[in-house]
Protein backbone atom coordinates (compact mmCIF):
# COMPACT_ATOMS: atom_id res chain seq x y z
CA UNK A 1 0.00 0.00 0.00
CA UNK A 2 1.36 3.41 -0.96
CA UNK A 3 -0.74 5.31 1.56
CA UNK A 4 -1.75 5.07 5.21
CA UNK A 5 -5.11 5.64 6.88
CA UNK A 6 -5.29 7.52 10.19
CA UNK A 7 -8.14 7.86 12.61
CA UNK A 8 -7.93 11.39 14.02
CA UNK A 9 -9.60 12.64 17.21
CA UNK A 10 -9.41 16.37 17.94
CA UNK A 11 -10.36 18.07 21.21
CA UNK A 12 -12.42 21.20 20.53
CA UNK A 13 -10.91 23.96 22.69
CA UNK A 14 -13.09 26.94 21.73
CA UNK A 15 -16.38 27.60 19.93
CA UNK A 16 -16.35 26.66 16.23
CA UNK A 17 -18.32 28.32 13.43
CA UNK A 18 -18.49 26.86 9.92
CA UNK A 19 -20.75 29.05 7.80
CA UNK A 20 -24.07 27.71 6.58
CA UNK A 21 -25.83 30.92 5.54
CA UNK A 22 -28.09 33.31 7.44
CA UNK A 23 -31.61 33.12 8.80
CA UNK A 24 -32.73 36.58 9.87
CA UNK A 25 -29.87 38.02 11.91
CA UNK A 26 -28.45 34.60 12.84
CA UNK A 27 -25.35 33.37 11.04
CA UNK A 28 -25.87 29.60 11.09
CA UNK A 29 -23.16 26.99 11.44
CA UNK A 30 -22.68 23.50 10.14
CA UNK A 31 -22.45 20.90 12.89
CA UNK A 32 -19.50 19.10 11.33
CA UNK A 33 -16.15 19.94 9.75
CA UNK A 34 -16.24 19.82 5.96
CA UNK A 35 -13.36 18.64 3.85
CA UNK A 36 -12.92 22.15 2.42
CA UNK A 37 -12.47 23.58 5.93
CA UNK A 38 -9.83 20.98 6.83
CA UNK A 39 -8.07 21.45 3.48
CA UNK A 40 -7.97 25.21 4.00
CA UNK A 41 -6.65 24.96 7.56
CA UNK A 42 -3.89 22.52 6.61
CA UNK A 43 -2.92 24.52 3.51
CA UNK A 44 -2.64 27.72 5.54
CA UNK A 45 -0.56 26.14 8.31
CA UNK A 46 1.74 24.14 6.01
CA UNK A 47 2.41 27.22 3.88
CA UNK A 48 3.28 29.39 6.88
CA UNK A 49 5.46 26.66 8.37
CA UNK A 50 7.33 26.20 5.07
CA UNK A 51 8.13 29.91 4.76
CA UNK A 52 8.90 30.49 8.43
CA UNK A 53 12.05 32.55 8.68
CA UNK A 54 11.96 33.27 4.94
CA UNK A 55 9.67 36.29 5.10
CA UNK A 56 5.86 36.54 5.26
CA UNK A 57 3.85 33.91 3.41
CA UNK A 58 1.62 36.40 1.60
CA UNK A 59 2.16 35.40 -2.03
CA UNK A 60 -0.93 33.57 -3.32
CA UNK A 61 1.32 31.38 -5.49
CA UNK A 62 2.87 29.95 -2.33
CA UNK A 63 -0.55 28.90 -1.08
CA UNK A 64 -1.52 27.55 -4.51
CA UNK A 65 1.56 25.32 -4.62
CA UNK A 66 0.97 23.92 -1.13
CA UNK A 67 -2.74 23.49 -1.92
CA UNK A 68 -1.87 21.35 -4.95
CA UNK A 69 0.38 19.19 -2.76
CA UNK A 70 -2.38 18.73 -0.17
CA UNK A 71 -4.82 17.68 -2.90
CA UNK A 72 -2.37 15.16 -4.38
CA UNK A 73 -0.98 13.68 -1.16
CA UNK A 74 -3.85 13.85 1.35
CA UNK A 75 -7.52 12.89 1.44
CA UNK A 76 -9.95 13.15 4.33
CA UNK A 77 -13.45 12.49 5.50
CA UNK A 78 -15.63 15.05 7.23
CA UNK A 79 -15.21 15.26 11.01
CA UNK A 80 -18.12 14.78 13.42
CA UNK A 81 -18.65 15.65 17.10
CA UNK A 82 -18.54 13.14 19.91
CA UNK A 83 -18.20 13.16 23.69
CA UNK A 84 -16.07 10.02 23.57
CA UNK A 85 -12.35 10.72 23.96
CA UNK A 86 -11.48 7.67 21.86
CA UNK A 87 -13.87 8.84 19.14
CA UNK A 88 -15.62 5.49 18.89
CA UNK A 89 -19.14 6.92 19.09
CA UNK A 90 -19.64 9.88 16.72
CA UNK A 91 -22.89 11.78 17.19
CA UNK A 92 -24.85 12.70 14.09
CA UNK A 93 -26.16 16.27 13.72
CA UNK A 94 -29.39 15.02 12.14
CA UNK A 95 -30.36 13.02 15.25
CA UNK A 96 -32.97 14.35 17.67
CA UNK A 97 -31.58 16.41 20.53
CA UNK A 98 -28.23 17.21 18.90
CA UNK A 99 -28.75 20.98 18.66
CA UNK A 100 -29.85 21.27 22.28
CA UNK A 101 -26.59 19.66 23.42
CA UNK A 102 -24.01 21.08 21.03
CA UNK A 103 -25.16 24.36 19.46
CA UNK A 104 -25.30 27.84 20.95
CA UNK A 105 -25.15 31.44 19.70
CA UNK A 106 -23.09 34.52 20.53
CA UNK A 107 -24.54 38.02 20.01
CA UNK A 108 -22.39 40.72 18.44
CA UNK A 109 -22.70 44.21 17.01
CA UNK A 110 -20.61 47.03 15.56
CA UNK A 111 -20.06 50.18 17.63
CA UNK A 112 -20.31 53.83 16.67
CA UNK A 113 -17.54 56.06 18.03
CA UNK A 114 -17.34 58.38 19.94
CA UNK A 115 -20.94 57.75 20.99
CA UNK A 116 -20.00 54.25 22.23
CA UNK A 117 -23.34 52.91 21.03
CA UNK A 118 -24.39 50.06 18.76
CA UNK A 119 -24.44 50.84 15.07
CA UNK A 120 -27.96 50.56 13.74
CA UNK A 121 -28.69 47.37 11.82
CA UNK A 122 -25.53 45.50 12.84
CA UNK A 123 -26.82 43.40 15.73
CA UNK A 124 -26.45 39.72 14.85
CA UNK A 125 -25.84 36.33 16.39
CA UNK A 126 -23.22 33.78 15.39
CA UNK A 127 -24.18 30.16 15.87
CA UNK A 128 -21.42 27.80 16.97
CA UNK A 129 -20.54 24.29 18.03
CA UNK A 130 -19.58 24.54 21.71
CA UNK A 131 -16.45 22.98 23.29
CA UNK A 132 -18.52 21.54 26.18
CA UNK A 133 -22.00 20.05 25.95
CA UNK A 134 -24.74 22.34 27.16
CA UNK A 135 -26.55 19.67 29.19
CA UNK A 136 -23.74 17.92 31.08
CA UNK A 137 -20.63 20.02 30.43
CA UNK A 138 -18.76 17.13 28.79
CA UNK A 139 -15.74 17.92 26.56
CA UNK A 140 -16.50 17.84 22.84
CA UNK A 141 -14.23 16.02 20.38
CA UNK A 142 -14.18 15.80 16.59
CA UNK A 143 -13.49 12.45 14.91
CA UNK A 144 -12.67 11.68 11.30
CA UNK A 145 -10.20 9.89 9.03
CA UNK A 146 -7.22 11.19 7.09
CA UNK A 147 -5.39 9.31 4.33
CA UNK A 148 -1.77 10.21 3.55
CA UNK A 149 0.30 9.00 0.61
CA UNK A 150 3.89 7.98 1.20
CA UNK A 151 6.10 11.06 1.30
CA UNK A 152 3.30 13.42 2.29
CA UNK A 153 4.33 16.62 4.03
CA UNK A 154 4.28 16.74 7.84
CA UNK A 155 0.54 17.26 8.25
CA UNK A 156 0.63 15.77 11.77
CA UNK A 157 2.69 18.66 13.14
CA UNK A 158 0.53 21.15 11.25
CA UNK A 159 -2.61 19.63 12.77
CA UNK A 160 -1.45 20.63 16.26
CA UNK A 161 -1.61 24.33 15.33
CA UNK A 162 -4.65 24.80 13.10
CA UNK A 163 -7.89 26.69 13.63
CA UNK A 164 -11.03 25.49 11.91
CA UNK A 165 -13.82 27.60 10.47
CA UNK A 166 -14.56 31.29 10.87
CA UNK A 167 -14.21 33.91 13.61
CA UNK A 168 -10.59 32.82 14.11
CA UNK A 169 -9.57 36.35 15.07
CA UNK A 170 -11.66 35.90 18.21
CA UNK A 171 -9.91 32.61 19.03
CA UNK A 172 -12.63 30.35 17.68
CA UNK A 173 -11.97 26.99 16.05
CA UNK A 174 -8.98 25.95 18.18
CA UNK A 175 -8.40 22.19 18.28
CA UNK A 176 -5.69 19.82 19.44
CA UNK A 177 -5.08 16.14 18.66
CA UNK A 178 -5.90 13.77 21.51
CA UNK A 179 -2.87 11.93 22.92
CA UNK A 180 -0.31 13.46 20.58
CA UNK A 181 0.20 12.45 16.97
CA UNK A 182 -2.52 10.36 15.24
CA UNK A 183 -1.72 6.68 14.87
CA UNK A 184 -2.27 4.55 11.74
CA UNK A 185 -5.65 2.84 11.47
CA UNK A 186 -6.55 -0.45 9.79
CA UNK A 187 -9.62 -2.61 9.28
CA UNK A 188 -8.84 -4.61 12.41
CA UNK A 189 -10.05 -1.58 14.40
CA UNK A 190 -13.51 -1.90 12.83
CA UNK A 191 -15.28 -0.07 10.03
CA UNK A 192 -15.00 3.65 9.35
CA UNK A 193 -17.62 5.49 11.40
CA UNK A 194 -19.16 2.08 12.14
CA UNK A 195 -20.80 1.76 8.71
CA UNK A 196 -18.15 2.02 5.94
CA UNK A 197 -15.43 -0.34 4.78
CA UNK A 198 -12.23 0.84 3.13
CA UNK A 199 -11.01 -0.64 -0.15
CA UNK A 200 -7.25 -1.28 0.06
CA UNK A 201 -4.71 0.12 -2.41
CA UNK A 202 -7.11 2.42 -4.30
CA UNK A 203 -6.20 6.10 -4.56
CA UNK A 204 -8.08 8.32 -4.08
CA UNK A 205 -9.54 6.24 -1.21
CA UNK A 206 -12.66 4.22 -1.98
CA UNK A 207 -15.31 3.51 0.67
CA UNK A 208 -18.14 0.97 0.64
CA UNK A 209 -21.31 1.98 2.47
CA UNK A 210 -23.49 -0.52 4.23
CA UNK A 211 -27.14 -0.68 3.23
CA UNK A 212 -29.15 2.27 4.64
CA UNK A 213 -25.97 4.00 5.88
CA UNK A 214 -26.11 7.80 6.00
CA UNK A 215 -23.96 9.90 3.73
CA UNK A 216 -21.13 11.29 5.87
CA UNK A 217 -19.94 13.91 3.38
CA UNK A 218 -21.42 15.91 0.54
CA UNK A 219 -21.90 13.62 -2.47
CA UNK A 220 -22.30 14.77 -6.06
CA UNK A 221 -25.99 14.59 -6.96
CA UNK A 222 -25.16 14.04 -10.64
CA UNK A 223 -23.74 10.62 -9.76
CA UNK A 224 -27.12 9.34 -8.56
CA UNK A 225 -30.01 7.96 -10.59
CA UNK A 226 -30.65 5.23 -13.09
CA UNK A 227 -29.20 7.18 -16.02
CA UNK A 228 -25.78 7.17 -14.35
CA UNK A 229 -25.91 3.52 -13.26
CA UNK A 230 -24.16 4.38 -10.02
CA UNK A 231 -26.85 3.81 -7.41
CA UNK A 232 -30.59 3.35 -7.51
CA UNK A 233 -31.66 6.18 -5.29
CA UNK A 234 -31.04 8.51 -2.40
CA UNK A 235 -33.27 10.13 0.18
CA UNK A 236 -32.03 13.46 1.45
CA UNK A 237 -31.50 17.19 1.03
CA UNK A 238 -29.86 18.65 -2.08
CA UNK A 239 -27.82 21.85 -1.74
CA UNK A 240 -25.28 23.83 -3.79
CA UNK A 241 -21.79 23.68 -2.35
CA UNK A 242 -19.68 26.81 -2.93
CA UNK A 243 -16.67 28.44 -1.34
CA UNK A 244 -14.43 31.49 -1.56
CA UNK A 245 -11.14 31.02 -3.37
CA UNK A 246 -8.10 33.04 -4.40
CA UNK A 247 -8.69 35.01 -7.60
CA UNK A 248 -6.96 33.08 -10.43
CA UNK A 249 -5.60 36.23 -12.12
CA UNK A 250 -4.64 38.84 -9.54
CA UNK A 251 -4.15 36.52 -6.54
CA UNK A 252 -6.52 38.32 -4.16
CA UNK A 253 -7.51 36.05 -1.29
CA UNK A 254 -11.14 35.00 -0.87
CA UNK A 255 -12.70 37.19 -3.56
CA UNK A 256 -13.42 34.45 -6.11
CA UNK A 257 -16.59 32.36 -5.66
CA UNK A 258 -16.14 28.77 -6.81
CA UNK A 259 -18.60 27.17 -9.19
CA UNK A 260 -21.51 25.57 -7.36
CA UNK A 261 -21.42 21.79 -7.06
CA UNK A 262 -24.87 20.33 -6.51
CA UNK A 263 -24.64 17.71 -3.77
CA UNK A 264 -26.67 15.59 -1.44
CA UNK A 265 -25.96 16.82 2.08
CA UNK A 266 -24.56 14.68 4.92
CA UNK A 267 -27.31 12.72 6.62
CA UNK A 268 -28.93 11.66 3.35
CA UNK A 269 -29.53 7.93 3.03
CA UNK A 270 -28.47 5.77 0.10
CA UNK A 271 -30.07 2.47 -0.88
CA UNK A 272 -28.71 -0.10 -1.62
CA UNK A 273 -25.02 -0.55 -0.72
CA UNK A 274 -22.94 2.04 -2.54
CA UNK A 275 -19.26 2.63 -3.29
CA UNK A 276 -17.78 6.12 -3.09
CA UNK A 277 -14.48 7.70 -4.05
CA UNK A 278 -13.21 10.56 -1.87
CA UNK A 279 -12.63 13.46 -4.24
CA UNK A 280 -11.06 16.92 -3.75
CA UNK A 281 -12.22 18.78 -0.62
CA UNK A 282 -13.54 15.47 0.77
CA UNK A 283 -16.56 15.44 -1.57
CA UNK A 284 -17.76 11.93 -2.38
CA UNK A 285 -18.23 10.64 -5.90
CA UNK A 286 -20.34 7.52 -6.46
CA UNK A 287 -18.47 4.75 -8.29
CA UNK A 288 -20.53 2.94 -10.92
CA UNK A 289 -20.29 -0.84 -11.33
CA UNK A 290 -17.89 -1.20 -8.41
CA UNK A 291 -17.15 -4.84 -7.44
Q: How far apart are CA 106 and CA 74, in angstroms?
A: 34
Give the largest Cα separation in the chain, rounded: 69
Output the pLDDT for position 227: 45
pTM of the predicted model over 0.85: yes
Q: Which helix (H) or strand (E) holds 213?
A: none
Instruction: Flag residues of the chain having pLDDT under 70.
Output: 1, 52-59, 109-113, 115-124, 188-189, 225-233, 245-256, 289-291
Domains of the chain with bracketed CATH? 1-185 (3.30.70), 192-291 (no CATH)
Give residue-wise pLDDT tens across range 18-31.
988 877 778 899 99
Give residue-wise pLDDT tens across range 157-192.
999 999 999 888 888 999 999 977 788 887 766 788
Output the pLDDT for position 234: 79
Output the pLDDT for position 103: 95
* Contacts with 42 (C-beta within 8 Å, 6 or more apart), sequence order: 70, 74, 155, 158, 159, 162
Output the pLDDT for position 258: 73
Residue ranges in the chain assigned as alpha helix (H): 35-50, 60-73, 98-102, 155-159
Output the pLDDT for position 55: 57
Strands (DSSP E) found in 34-185: 74-76, 80-82, 103-108, 111-112, 117-118, 124-129, 141-149, 175-177, 184-185
Q: How far apart are CA 32 and CA 142, in angstroms?
A: 8
Amino acid sequence: MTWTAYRVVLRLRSPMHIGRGKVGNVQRTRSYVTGRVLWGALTERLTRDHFRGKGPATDSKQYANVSATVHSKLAFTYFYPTTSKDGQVPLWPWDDGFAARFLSTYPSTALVYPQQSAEEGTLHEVECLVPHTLDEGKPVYLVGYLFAKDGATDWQSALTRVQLGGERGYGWGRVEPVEGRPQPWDDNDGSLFGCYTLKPDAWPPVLRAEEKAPLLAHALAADFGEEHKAVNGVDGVVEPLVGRETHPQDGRFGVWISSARICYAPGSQVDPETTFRIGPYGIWEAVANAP
